[in-house]
Amino acid sequence: MLKHKRGVENVIDFQSKASPSSMNYYIHWDDTTSVYKYKDFLCVGIKNNFLGFIVLNWFVSKIKRKKKSVFIHSHNPLMSLFCLFQTNLLTVHDALYYQNKAVGHQLKALFYPLEKILYSRVKFVHFISHYTKNMSLFSDSKNFKIIHNTSHLETYNLNNSQTKKNVEFDPSKIKVLVVRGIEERSRIDLVIQVAEELKASNFEILIAGKGPLFDFYKNEIQKLNLKNIKLIGYVNEEMLTNYYLACDIVLMPAEYAEGFGLPIIEGYFFNKPVIASNRCAIPEVIISKEFLFDNTVEDVIKKLEFAQHKQVGTYKEMYMTKFSNAFIVSQFKTLYKTLM
C-alpha cells in the first residue's frame, strides 16, 4: 500500500471504504516481512520466498484467533490456493489460465488445474468485467458478481482549480495521451508506427508509464528521429491529473490480457474522448463502438481524426453514472452486506 501501484492496491483501497469492519487487514507479498499502518488498514508484508505461505498461514491464524470471525477477501489466487482458511470473496482481475496462456508461459498448462482448484476453494467470486468472467474457468452460474473498477484520480479533482502546469505538450498541437504499462500487450509499437505516419501532421503523442520495454521503445523513437511522440515514464497520480486535463484525446491500445481498461474511464472523468483497441474487455467499457479501432496504423489514424471532432461529449456523465467512486463503493457495500 505504501508503494501505491496503479492497479490492485487502488481497487483494495476503494473496497475497504465499503467494508463494515472497523479494522481491515491487508496482507501482501513484499521484499521483507513487515507490519505497518496505512489509512484504516493494518498492513502485513510477507517476504516472498519459500517460507512465504507458512508465514501467511501463521498471520491469518493469529488474526482469526484474535477476531474469531474474519471475512477473507482475496485478490491473490495463489494465496487463496494455499491459505488454510477458505476465501469468502475472490476478486479476479485476470484469469490464471487465460493470462498465462496469453503470455506464452512455459508452465501454462499447469495453471488450468490450479484455476479449477482455486474456484472450488472460494465461496464467492467478483470479476472486474464480463470479459474476465468469460475468460475464466469459473463455471458456477450463481456465486459471482460483476463490479467494474473506479479511479483514484477522482479524489484529485480540485473543483477545476488544478492547473495544467509542467505538462510537456505543445499547446499548438492536438494532444494525445497514452497511459499504459510499457510492455508487449500495450502495443506501444503500434503507437510509434502511428506517430511515424503522422510526423507531418498536427498530432502530438505523450506516453506515460513504466515497464520492461521502456528503454527499447525509447531507443526506437530516437532511431526514427520522431519529434511528435515522447515516452515520459512514470508520473504520480497528481501529475497524471494534469496530463489528463491538458490532453485533447486519450488513446488506449491493447492486444491481450486487458481485463478492464482504467485509462478509458479516467479519460471520461476528465471529459475527454477516448479511442481504444477493439480487444478484450474494452468494448464493454467504451462509450460507443464508433470509438473502437482495429490494431492497424490506418484504423488508429482514422479514429484519431474522428475523435478530434468529438471532443465535446457526455464522457464525464458516462463516468459518474457507471464508474464513479460513490457508485462502485455502493455496489461493494451491497455485496459485503449480502455475503457477511
232-259: pLDDT as tens digits = 999 888 889 999 999 999 999 999 989 9
Question: Which H helix or E strand runs over 260?
Answer: none
**pLDDT band at residue 92 under the 50/70/90 scheme:** very high
Residue 95: band (very low, low, confident or very high) from pLDDT cuts 50, 70, 90: very high
Cα 164 from Cα 239, distance rounded (Å) = 9
Contact call for residues 136 and 92 (beta carbons, < 8 A): yes
**DSSP E strands: which ranges in the chain?**
24-30, 34-38, 41-47, 73-74, 87-92, 122-127, 144-146, 174-179, 203-208, 229-233, 249-252, 274-277, 292-293
| Residue pLDDT, tens place only, 52-89 | 999 999 999 999 998 878 999 999 999 999 999 999 99
Is the pLDDT reported for residue 159 higher than 60? Answer: no
pLDDT grade for 161, boundaries at 50, 70 and 90? very low
Q: Nearest-CA neighbor of 183 among 152, 215, 206?
A: 215
Smallest CA-to-CA distance from 72 within 96, 58, 89, 84 is with 89
What's the Cα-to-Cα distance from 248 to each of 195, 227, 251, 285, 324, rounded to whole Å? 16, 18, 10, 19, 21
Segment 266-270 mean pLDDT: 96
User: Over the chain, what is the mean pLDDT?
Assistant: 92
- Establish how many alpha carbons lie within 13 A of residue 85's alpha carbon, considering only the half-sphere containing its beta carbon: 20
Cα dist. 225→71, 178, 188 in Å?
Answer: 55, 20, 16
pTM of the entire predicted model: 0.92
Q: Is 90 exceeded by the pLDDT of residue 220?
A: yes
* Phi/psi-derived region of residue 109, left when phi > 0, alpha when psi is between -120 and 50, beta in every other case: alpha
The rounded percent of the chain whose pLDDT value lies above 70 is 96
Radius of gyration from C-alpha coordinates of the chain: 21
What are 31-49's pLDDT values in tens digits?
Answer: 999 999 988 899 999 999 9
Taking a C-beta distance cutoff of 8 angstroms, is the pair 96, 75 a contact?
no
Yes or no: say if 283 and 298 are a contact pair by the CB < 8 Å rule: no
| ∠ Cα 186 191 195 (to 5°) | 165
> Which domains does the chain possess?
8-150+326-339 (3.40.50.2000), 153-322 (3.40.50.2000)
Grid cell listed for 171: 499547446
CA atoms within 13 A on the CB side of 65: 6
Q: Which residues contact 181 (CB under 8 A, 6 or more apart)?
A: 209, 210, 211
- Please write the tens of the pLDDT for every residue from 195-205: 999 999 999 99
292 pLDDT above the threshold of 80: yes
Bridge-based pairing state of the strands 41-47 and 34-38: antiparallel
